Amino acid sequence: MNKLTTLVIFSLFGFMIGFVIGFTGVIFTSYLTGSTSIFPFLTLMNLMESGSPSSSIIGVGI
């Protein structure tokens, strides 16, 4: 039970890190290009997706 709780916490933590990195990347891209198009949003979705496997790997590492 304790191991499962740790796995869940690490998965959420990994997802949060991926979300923060993705969100920062979107803001930075919007600032550089000076546009608020759909592309930064798609970049955010891609970075969030790439953040999920890393949290899974951390979970498997436990």
Name the residue ranges covered by the structural domains of the chain.
Answer: 2-51
Nearest alpha-carbon partner for 45 in 61, 56, 29, 62:
29
Q: Can you give the pLDDT of all 62 residues of the chain as single tens digits?
A: 688 888 888 888 888 887 788 777 777 776 666 655 555 566 666 665 555 554 444 444 43
pTM to 2 decimals?
0.40
